[in-house]
Amino acid sequence: QVQLVESGGGLVQAGGSLRLSCAASGRTFSIYDMGWFRQAPGKEREFVGVVTWYSGYARAADSVKGRFTISRDNAKNTMYLQMNSLKPEDTGVYYCAAKTNTRLRTDRAAYDYWGQGTQVTVSS
């Protein structure tokens, strides 16, 4: 089992920045990828970005590329999502997730473990 806890959400004005953290515990050695997803009210949960746990190779969704950066610190068992130039459409609950397989990194169904989510609200 892997446990995930997100932190760092909050209210920010458009154009501002936030950094989310996701702390992993338990069988972290089994993690292959860790991802960020978000869900706006009335919408499906969507892929935001992913980082391969051991190599650190990261990829962001096209909708956030150039504004959001995904990284991880293996020593702290923590993944980060640095969000800059935030827009009102970035508002939603942000979830971190971990998977222990090599299935498609952008597919939320591929992820085995999920955090409880943290709210991000961007005001215009």
Predicted confidence (pLDDT) at residue 63 exceeds the cutoff of 90: yes
| Per-residue pLDDT at 30 | 93
DSSP string, 44-106: --EEEEEEETTT--EEE-TTTTTTEEEEEEGGGTEEEEEE-S--GGG-EEEEEEEESS-S-TT
Predicted confidence (pLDDT) at residue 102 exceeds the cutoff of 90: no
Q: Residue 103 — pLDDT band, cuts 50, 70, 90?
A: confident
* CA–CA gap between residue 89 and residue 45 (Å, rounded): 14
Q: Residue 104 — pLDDT band, cuts 50, 70, 90?
A: confident
| Per-residue pLDDT at 94 | 98
Q: What is the tens place of the pLDDT at every residue in 4-40?
A: 999 999 999 999 999 999 999 999 999 999 999 999 9
